[in-house]
Structure formats: structure tokens, C-alpha cells
Structure 1
Amino acid sequence: MNANGRTTAFLIDLDGTMYAGNTPIPHAAAFVDRLRELALPFLFVTNNSSRTPEAVASHLREMGIAAEPGEVVTSSQATARYVLERGRGRRVYAIGEDGLKRALAEAGLELVEDEPDFVVQGIDRDFSYRKLEAAVRFIAAGAEYVLTNPDRLLPSDGKLVPGAGAISGSIREALWVEPTVIGKPSDRIMRFALERLSADADVWAVGDNPATDIGAGVAAGLRTALVLTGIATPDNAAEAIAAAGVTPDLVCGSLLELLERLKLGRQG
């Protein structure tokens, strides 16, 4: 319990917060273990649309971070929920990878190659001119354009690679159309995660990116903690926060420091 007598809960970013590519962030495993010891509710919330929750949990476990598929919320899952609740049809043209297509299918949506009600786009490392042409044609004909997440670049084992937002740029430029964005910094993915969390708690959004992780937390009305282990670092934190235009409630050098600042660390 915190000072208000309420449980503290966490929505935790992954890349840059729990791991960097295939390398665990220092103290990530200990942070999760401590939340479990204290029985504090938490979920991992990721903009990554390419992996299934099972694949994400497996990746975390490979790095020594305890995780189960039910503790993972992806932008693909939140996107599928959004499309299903729109009530304007179930036919979807999907530009994306296994995680996105499986989430859409598991929600009862129909993946089609023509006359869709929605064009849903995430990261797709097999993106082609044919897919671009089809997306433009379908959106121009009235399909709603939904983007899993707007990340233009992604960190990957020490380098930056194009993300879903980079692909989206070609579609937006062709039609001068803006998609409905589901992932961070939108509050849509956070509200979806809060439903899954099902906890009467003070919820902290924890992440390394002021623009996406902290922006989404602020948009959803959550407390926010920026950890300087990924996009934001001790060297660029002030500049990154200013550029994002949002101010986190806490700025911590590590996840261990976050536990200590919230008085959740081991005593003695």
C-alpha cells in the first residue's frame, strides 16, 4: 500500500526499459521480482506489433526476466479491440507480421485481400510497393486506416531501424490522410491495458521514452516515471523531455532507483 492506502500498480515499457534488443537492462529482472514479492499488479505494455504475447514473454524469460503471456499487452491486441468495437465491419487488410495477424484473427476479424472495412498497419519487414498500392486503393475507397503504433525508428542491438511509423509515412503522404493511432503516445493502448490490469490502484506508467511512454501515461491520467536506460539517458534527458513536451513525475537513473524512490525497495 502507498501513503493513500491504495495499491501501487505498473504499466511497464519493454524496449529500453526491460531490455535493449537481446540484452537485459540492468536491474530489470530484480525490479519485476520485487513487484512479485510485494504482490503489486503490473503489465508489460509494448508498441511492438510484430510479436505475440507468447513470443514476448518467451523473449523476456530468455533474458532472465520472469514473464507470462497474460502479463503482456501489445499494440496489436489493443488494435484488434479497437477495430472490433468500431462496429463498421470485420474485414481487415493487414500490413504486418505474425503478432498483428494473429491478434486480429483471435478477435474474430476476417483477414482479406480485397474490399476491406479497415486497413490495419504495423511494422512489416516484408513491406512492398504492392502492399502500399493496395493500402492506398482501399483507404481511398473508404476503408478506415488504423496504425498500431507511430514509432519511426526502433533500437535494435545497438542500431536504429525503421519502424511502423516509417511505413505509415508513405501511406500518409500518398493520400494526405492521418491514421487512427492505437499505440503510445495514444492513450488507447493504456486504457486497454488498464482494463486488463483490473486493479483499484495508483498506476505508474514506466518507460524510457518521454514522447511515447511518458506521453501515453500523461494522456491516460497516470503517474509517470522516466528511466534513463534507453531513448532517454543521463546525457540527453533534459533535452528529450523538453522535446516531448511532457514532464514525468519521476526521473530515475535506473529501475532500482525507481523502487527506492517509491519506497518499495528492500529495507535494511
Structure 2
Amino acid sequence: MQEENKSYEGIISDVSPELIERLKKIKHVALDMDGTIYNGSTLFPYTPGFLQSLKSAGISYSFLTNNPSKGIGDYLKHLEKMGIPAVAEEMYTSALATIDYLKSYHPLVKRLFILGTPSMIGEFEANGFISTADDANDKPDAVVVGFDSTLVYSRLCRAAWWVSQQLPYVATNPDWVCPTDQPVILVDCGAICACIEGATKRLPDIVLGKPDPRMLDGILHRQGLQPEEIAMVGDRLYTDVKMALNANALGVLVLSGEATMEDVAASEVGADVIADNVAKFGDLLLAVQKV
């Protein structure tokens, strides 16, 4: 045990006392998914061991994603297929954040014109909303735009029309592209909204998802935690880390996805912790917890 403590002490020897105190408070780790625990369809080999080490240390975790294109059930199946068992309470997507926002701030809104995948539309319908058709006579109460990998040009034009009519306009997430391990650029919600802006000269009324701090609310409520007891881990400074800072949580940047050290140097958003990957962050967190 004494040798083990010396090993952990070596890991934290260069860590500031202030950061050590913050790490000691962590009871839950909120994990971005694509670019953090896997890349596209490829699971990082260190992810299962990292998750098991958190469990063994009594630290709970959950998965957050700005990608609303899949429903909770789809994500759980995707994780299970990769060898990561999870339950619905461990998942929170920007689609659910948007649903929670509409129910809280626009309780009379029921009919939505949604630019989104069938899975995303199904998530809204399962929560009591009605998806309107691509029809000028089927007027919605609001427009919701997400990461629509099934995007049809006519529906994009219809969304732009309803946006131009000054209906409430909500975007699920700000991401310009979705990470992938394939030789292609996946145009995400932010880029689709930029297209609508070009046609209508109008921005969304609100953009949910990270970095909006409400993305952490579901975890706070479910786990009964305070923001300082959560570490938000992700591969993007402008969404993952910025949300953590906005929510007063610990912001951890991993370099396994989008962000590079060049991005860190150029960004005004400063991560509390920078690690090569989640395994390296796990080593640091457990070292602090065990010393």
C-alpha cells in the first residue's frame, strides 16, 4: 500500500494544490462520447478499463452528447455493441435538453417542424410533441433544427420558410461538424443553421446542447450533486469545456478527438485539466482520490 501511494504521489507531483482540492470533490464524471470514448465506430481500447476504474473507486459516470441524431435507445444499443453496458439514466442528449427546454419555457408549444433524423423525431414524439409535415398548410408552433444526417432539400426549404415567419426557432446544438473516422465531413447542426441564416437573415432564438449549462441539469438532478462535484470530460474546448466553465463544473479536455494543443494555445477557453485521453485523466483523478 505504501508503494502504491508513492506511485499515486508521483502522478500528482506537478499538480497544483488548488486543482488537487477540486479533483478530490469529484463524485461523478460526465463524458462526451464521439472523440472522447470512441471515434465514429471505433472504441478507444482504454475506454472499458477507464470506466471500470471509476466504478471501482465509487465514482459514477454518465454519457452526454451534442449529437441528437439517435434516440436514447439507439445510443444504449450502440454502446452495448461496443462492449459498454449502460442504462437510460446514464444518457443525456441535446435532443432531451431541447425537449426539457421547450416543456419548461414554451409549455404551449406542441406542434414542431423538425429538421432531424427519424430517431430524433421519434424522441420528440415520445415526449408528447407532434411532428408536422412538409406542407404549407400544416403550420407548426415552433421550428427545431438538429443534426440531420437524413436532410432533404425540400424540408430544409420548408424550415427556412417557417423561420422567416418568425415562429420560435430552436437549435439542438452548436456543432459545425460531427467527428468521424471516415474520409468525409459530416455537416452538423451549426452548419445547417448557418444555411438557414443565409436564407432568412435569422439566427436561432436559442441553441441548446453544450456549451449551454443546462446540459448538466439532468445529471445534477438525478445524482443529487452540486456542480463542483462533476467533471465534464470532452474533446472540444468550445462545447465540452466551455459548458463545464459555464456550469461551474471541472472542465477536462482530452486530445483524442477534435482539439489539439494548437487549439488550446489559440482559445480563450481554458480547461482545468488537459489530458491525452480519458485513461490519463482517470489516472490523475484516482491518484488524487487515493492519496
Whole-Å separation in 1 of the counterparts to 2:287 and 2:118: 37
Contact 1:76 1:99 in 2 (8 A): no
Q: Distance in 1 between matches of 2:161 and 2:247?
A: 34
Give 1:166's aligned residue. 191
Report which stretch shifted further, 12-21 or 159-168: 159-168
Report the CA distance between 1:70 and its aligned residue.
2.3
- Aligned match of 1:255 in 267, 274, 278? 278
Are 1:98 and 2:118 an aligned pair? yes
- The answer for the alignment partner of 2:250 in structure 1 is 223
For 2:222, which of 196, 206, 224 is the aligned residue? 196
Deviations 1:200-239 (A, max 9, x none): 561110011111111111111111111111112xxx31x2
Q: Which amino acid aligns with 1:254?
A: N
Amino acid at match of 1:142: Q
- TM-score w.r.t. structure 2 length? 0.83
Instruction: Tell me the distance in 2 between the aligned counterparts of 1:164 and 1:143.
Output: 18
The higher radius of gyration belongs to 2
Identity among equivalent positions (%) equals 30
Hey, what's the Cα distance between the residues in 1 that align with 2:234 and 2:163? 33
Q: Which has the higher contact order (CA 8 A, sep 6+)?
A: 2
Instruction: Give CA deviations for 1:42-68 in whole Å, capped at 9, x if unaligned.
Output: 210001111111211221222222322
Determine helix, strand or coil for the equivalent of 1:133.
helix
For residues 60 and 234 of structure 2, the distance between their equivalents in structure 1, rounded to whole angstroms, comes to 16
The answer on whether the counterparts of 2:177 and 2:186 sit within 8 Å (CA) in structure 1 is yes
Q: The residue matched to 2:179 in structure 1 has which SS?
A: strand
Equivalent in the alignment of 1:61: 80
Q: Give 1:29-40 correspondences, 5 Å limit.
A: 29-40=48-59
CA contact (8 A) 2:174 2:209 kept: yes
Local SS of the residue matching 2:112: strand
The answer to which structure has the higher helix fraction is 2
Aligned Cα root-mean-square deviation (Å): 2.3
Taking the aligned partners of 1:265 and 1:54, their CA distance within structure 2 comes to 35
Distance 1:222 1:135 in 2: 35
Structure 2 Cα separation of the partners of residues 58 and 265 of structure 1:
33
Q: 1:248, CA displacement in angstroms?
A: 0.7
Give the number of aligned pairs: 263
1:229-244 pair list within 5 angstroms: 229-232=256-259, 236-237=260-261, 239-244=262-267
For structure 2, the 5+ residue unaligned runs are 1-19
Alignment of 1:1-268 (within 5 A): 6=25, 8-85=27-104, 86-113=106-133, 114-159=138-183, 160-179=185-204, 180-200=206-226, 202-232=229-259, 236-237=260-261, 239-264=262-287
* Structure 1, unpaired ranges of 5+: none
Alpha-carbon distance in structure 1 between the residues aligned to 2:120 and 2:219: 17
Of residues 93-102 and 195-204 in structure 1, the stretch that sits farther from structure 2 once superposed is 195-204
